[in-house]
C-alpha cells in the first residue's frame, strides 16, 4: 500500500506536482536537444576531418613526423597497401607522397604541401572528389593535373587550367621544378587544406623525386571505428618497422575537441541535475511539511520510520517516473525531426566554415545517452528525496499530531 | 487483568528553561474491558497522560506498564511495533489518510502487521459493517461526514485487535447524532467483545456513558469514580 499512498500523494496537489514534473520534462527535453545538437556538431566536424583529411589510421616512417622529408619513406608502400585492404575492417587504404614545395603562378607564389595521390584509391579513402567545387577530379587536364583549394587559388590568382609551377627537392637534394595545370578547385572543410595543400597524381610527382614508387604515407579508412585497435594491430604486423597511428594521435586537437565536447555535456547535465535536486527538494519538503500531522499519525499507529522514509522516496521517484518518459519522448521527437531535416545555421556560415564546421547540423543522440539521462533523473530524484524523507522521520508523533 | 498500570508518572516540559509540570505523580491502572473517561479542564494533562499511556511520549519519571511490559525499556522501533500491535488510536480530528478509501484506511494497519490481502479485506469489511458503514468502503474521507470518518477511525483502531483503544476527545468535532452513534458503537463493542476503551474528553455525553471517570486537575488525579469496581 506504500506505493498506492505514494502515487496518490503525487496527485494530491496536482498543480504543484505538475509544475515540478513540467520543469523536469522541459529540462530533460532541452538537455536531450542540447546533447544531440552538440553531438551532431562534433560528429559532423569529426567525420569531416576523418573523411576528408586524416582517415582513421595513418602509417609513416618513424622519423617522418619530426622532419617531413621524402627520405623518410615507406619501403614497398604500394604493395603494403594491397595487403592492408585484405583486412575485413578496412574499407579503403591509399598511399601518398608528401613533398614540401614552393608553388608559383604568374602572379604570386607560396609554400605548400604537395600530396601525390593515387586518384582512384584516394577518393575511396577521403572522398576528396566530393569536395571539388569547380572543374573535375583530375580528369579535365591530361598532363600533370593539379587540385587546389579555393583560398590558395584566390591567393595565387589562378583558375581552371591555369599553369602552376611546383619547385621542390628530389631524393638527391637537387631542386626540381615541374609545371602543372589546375584541373579542379576544391573547398575542403579544413582551412589548412584549403590554404596550404595541393593534390597531384603520385606518378607525376614521383617521377621528379627519383623513385617512382616512393610512398610517404599510407592512410586507412575503416568500416567500424570501434575496432580501430584490432586494425591498428593488424597493420602494425604488416608494417612492423613503421609508425602506425590512430586518428586521435595524428590529430590530438581533434581528440581534445571531442573530449571537450564530452566535458561540456557533463557540465550541462550536472547543472541540470543540480537545479533539479533543489526543485525536487522544495516540492517534497512542502509535501512533507503540510502533512506533518498525517505522518505523525502514521508513526503513531505503527508505521515504522523505514516505511515512512521509503514512502517519501517512492513518492519522489514517481515524480521522476512520470516526467522522465515524457521528457525523453519529446527530446527523441525533436532529435528525430532535426536529424532528418537538419538544423540550419547558415546565418553563421562564414564563421563556421572558417573553423571547418558544417552549416547544417544534424543532431544525434545515442541510446547510451538516453539511458544515462534516465539513470541521472532516477539518482537525482533519490538524492533530492533524502532530505525531505529525513525531515519526515525526525518527526515525533506526539508533537506532529498536535500540529494544526 | 490489568492492561495498563501507571505508577507515579510525572512529565515536565521545558525542564531546562521554564519548567511546565504537565503531570505530577499520577498513578492508576486499567483492567481489561473497562470503558474509562479521563476528564478535566484544558491543560490539566489529559492529552499528556494519553500520549504516555499510548507510548507516544515518555514520562519524566515513573513507570508505565502495558500488558505487563514496561514501555520505558523499549527502543523507538520496538515501541512502534508495540503500538501497532497493542494500542488502537482514535484522534479528535479523525486523522484518516485522505488519499485512501475507508477500506484502505482500515486495511493499512493490518498490512503493517503483515496480514494477507484476503485477511485484511475480510476484516476491513467486517469492521465497516460493525461501525455501520457497509457500502461506504470505497468512499474517501472527503466523501464521508465527520461522524462517518470517526467511525472509520474507530474501525481502524480496532483492526489491529489491540489490547485497548485510546481515544483523544473523539467526539469533539461531532454533532449530537454522530456523537450518540459513535458512543453506541463503542459501548456495544465494549459490552459484546470486551474491548477496552480509554477516552480523554470534555464531553458530558461521553462522561455519562463511561463506567469509570478519572478526573485530572493540574497534573494530578483528583477523583477516580469506578462505577463497576466501586459501585
Residues A142-196: pLDDT tens digits?
899 999 999 999 999 998 999 999 999 999 889 999 999 999 999 887 778 888 9
Nearest to A315 by CA among A22, A21, A25: A21
CB pair distance less than 8 Å for A305 and B51 = no
Give the model's confidence band at A94: pLDDT under 50 very low, under 70 low, under 90 confident, else very high. Answer: very high
The pLDDT score that the predictor gives to residue A53 is 79
How many CB atoms within 10 Å of residue A368? 8
Q: Which residues of B touch A302 (CB under 8 A)?
A: 80-81, 83-85, 109, 112-113, 160
CB pair distance less than 8 Å for B100 and A5 = yes
Q: What is the DSSP letter of A357?
A: -
Give the model's confidence band at A354: pLDDT under 50 very low, under 70 low, under 90 confident, else very high. Answer: low
In a domain, B18, yes or no: yes
ipTM of the complex, rounded to two decimals: 0.87
Half-sphere exposure of A23 (CA within 13 A, CB side): 17
Domain range holding B212? Answer: 2-226
In a domain, B190, yes or no: yes
Maximum Cα–Cα distance for chain B, whole Å?
Answer: 53
The pLDDT score that the predictor gives to residue B231 is 35
Quick one: average pLDDT of A45-52? 81
- Nearest chain B residue to A291 by CA: give it: B97
In a domain, B98, yes or no: yes
CB pair distance less than 8 Å for B91 and A297 = yes
The pLDDT score that the predictor gives to residue B192 is 84
Domain boundaries of chain A, sorted by first residue: 2-49+255-402, 62-241
Q: What is the DSSP letter of B134?
A: T
In a domain, B231, yes or no: no
**Lowest-pLDDT range of A29-38, A43-52, A388-397:** A43-52
Torsion angle in degrees (nearest 10) through CA of A95, A100, A102, A104: 20
- Positive or negative CA dihedral for A321, A327, A328, A333? positive
* Number of independent structural domains in chain B: 1
How many CB atoms within 10 Å of residue A175? 9
| pLDDT above 50 for B229 | no
Minimal Cβ distance to B84: which of A4, A302, A397 = A302
- For the stretch A254-299, pLDDT in tens is 888 888 888 988 898 899 899 989 989 988 899 898 889 899 999 9
CB pair distance less than 8 Å for B109 and A9 = no
- For the stretch B80-139, pLDDT in tens is 989 998 899 988 888 899 999 999 999 999 999 999 999 999 999 988 988 888 889 999
Contact (CB, 8 A) for B10 and B59: yes
Cα(A257)–Cα(A135) distance, rounded to whole angstroms?
A: 34
Nearest to A180 by CA among A127, A120, A101, A124: A101
- Three-state SS for A262? helix
CATH number, position B94: 3.40.50.300
| pLDDT above 70 for A326 | yes
- Nearest chain B residue to A398 by CA: give it: B56
Nearest to B132 by CA among B180, B166, B90: B180
CB pair distance less than 8 Å for A301 and B156 = yes
- For the stretch A1-21, pLDDT in tens is 889 999 998 898 889 899 989
- Nearest chain B residue to A402 by CA: give it: B47
Mutation target vs A (from B22, B108, B138, B173; most A CBs, 10 A cutoff): B108
CB pair distance less than 8 Å for B83 and A302 = yes
Amino acid at each position: 500500500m506504500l506505493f498506492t499512498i505514494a502515487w496518490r500523494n503525487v496527485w494530491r496537489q496536482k498543480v504543484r506536482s505538475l509544475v515540478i514534473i513540467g520543469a523536469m520534462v522541459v529540462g530533460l527535453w532541452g538537455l536531450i536537444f542540447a546533447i544531440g545538437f552538440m553531438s551532431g556538431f562534433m560528429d559532423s566536424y569529426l567525420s569531416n576531418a576523418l573523411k576528408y583529411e586524416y582517415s582513421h589510421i595513418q602509417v609513416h616512417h618513424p622519423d617522418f613526423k619530426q622532419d617531413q622529408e621524402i627520405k623518410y619513406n615507406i619501403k614497398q608502400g604500394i604493395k603494403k597497401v594491397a595487403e592492408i585492404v585484405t583486412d575485413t575492417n578496412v574499407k579503403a587504404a591509399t598511399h601518398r607522397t608528401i613533398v614540401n614545395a614552393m608553388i608559383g603562378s604568374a602572379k604570386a607564389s607560396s609554400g605548400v604541401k604537395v600530396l601525390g595521390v593515387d586518384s582512384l584509391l584516394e577518393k575511396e579513402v577521403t572522398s576528396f572528389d566530393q569536395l571539388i567545387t569547380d572543374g573535375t577530379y583530375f580528369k579535365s587536364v591530361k598532363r600533370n593535373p593539379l587540385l587546389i583549394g579555393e583560398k590558395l587559388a584566390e591567393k595565387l590568382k589562378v583558375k581552371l587550367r591555369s599553369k602552376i609551377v611546383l619547385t621542390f627537392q628530389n631524393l638527391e637534394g637537387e631542386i626540381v621544378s615541374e609545371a602543372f595545370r589546375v584541373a579542379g578547385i576544391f573547398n575542403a572543410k579544413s582551412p589548412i587544406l584549403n590554404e596550404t595543400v595541393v593534390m597531384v597524381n603520385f606518378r607525376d610527382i614521383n617521377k621528379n623525386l627519383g623513385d617512382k614508387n616512393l610512398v610517404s604515407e599510407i592512410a586507412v579508412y575503416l568500416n567500424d571505428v570501434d575496432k580501430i585497435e584490432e586494425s591498428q594491430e593488424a597493420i602494425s604486423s604488416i608494417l612492423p618497422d613503421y609508425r602506425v597511428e590512430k586518428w586521435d594521435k595524428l590529430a590530438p586537437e581533434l581528440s581534445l575537441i571531442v573530449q571537450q565536447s564530452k566535458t561540456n555535456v557533463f557540465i550541462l547535465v550536472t547543472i541540470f541535475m543540480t537545479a533539479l535536486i533543489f526543485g525536487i527538494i522544495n516540492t517534497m519538503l512542502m509535501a512533507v511539511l503540510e502533512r506533518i500531522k498525517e505522518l505523525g499519525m502514521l508513526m503513531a499507529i505503527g508505521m515504522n520510520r523505514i516505511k515512512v522514509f521509503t514512502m517519501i522516496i517512492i513518492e519522489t521517484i514517481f515524480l521522476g517516473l512520470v516526467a522522465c518518459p515524457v521528457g525523453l519522448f519529446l527530446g527523441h521527437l525533436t532529435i528525430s525531426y532535426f536529424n532528418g531535416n537538419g538544423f540550419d545555421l547558415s546565418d553563421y556560415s562564414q564563421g563556421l566554415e572558417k573553423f571547418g564546421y558544417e552549416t547544417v547540423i544534424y543532431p544525434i543522440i545515442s541510446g547510451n545517452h538516453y539511458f544515462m539521462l534516465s539513470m541521472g533523473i532516477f539518482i537525482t530524484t533519490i538524492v533530492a528525496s533524502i532530505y525531505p524523507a529525513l525531515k519526515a522521520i525526525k518527526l515525533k508523533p506526539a508533537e506532529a499530531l498536535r500540529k494544526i | 487483568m490489568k492492561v495498563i498500570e501507571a505508577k507515579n508518572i510525572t512529565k515536565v516540559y521545558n525542564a531546562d528553561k521554564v519548567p511546565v509540570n504537565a503531570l505530577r505523580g499520577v498513578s492508576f491502572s486499567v483492567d481489561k474491558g473497562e470503558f474509562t473517561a479521563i476528564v478535566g479542564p484544558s491543560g490539566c494533562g489529559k492529552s499528556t497522560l494519553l500520549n504516555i499511556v499510548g507510548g507516544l511520549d515518555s514520562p519524566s519519571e515513573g513507570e508505565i506498564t502495558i500488558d505487563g511490559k514496561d514501555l520505558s525499556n523499549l527502543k523507538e522501533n520496538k515501541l512502534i511495533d508495540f503500538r501497532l500491535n497493542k494500542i488502537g488510536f482514535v484522534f479528535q480530528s479523525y486523522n484518516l489518510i485522505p488519499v485512501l478509501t475507508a477500506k484502505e484506511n482500515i486495511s493499512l494497519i493490518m498490512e503493517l502487521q503483515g496480514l494477507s490481502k484476503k485477511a485484511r479485506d475480510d476484516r476491513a469489511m467486517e469492521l465497516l459493517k460493525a461501525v455501520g458503514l457497509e457500502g461506504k468502503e470505497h468512499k474517501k474521507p472527503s466523501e464521508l461526514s465527520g461522524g462517518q470518518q470517526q467511525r472509520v477511525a474507530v474501525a481502524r483502531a480496532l483492526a489491529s485487535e489491540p489490547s485497548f483503544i485510546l481515544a483523544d476527545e473523539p467526539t469533539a468535532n461531532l454533532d449530537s447524532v454522530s456523537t450518540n452513534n459513535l458512543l453506541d458503537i463503542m459501548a456495544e463493542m465494549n459490552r459484546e467483545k470486551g474491548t477496552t476503551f480509554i477516552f480523554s474528553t470534555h464531553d458530558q455525553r461521553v462522561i455519562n456513558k463511561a463506567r469509570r471517570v478519572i478526573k485530572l486537575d493540574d497534573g494530578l488525579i483528583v477523583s477516580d469514580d469506578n462505577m463497576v469496581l466501586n459501585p
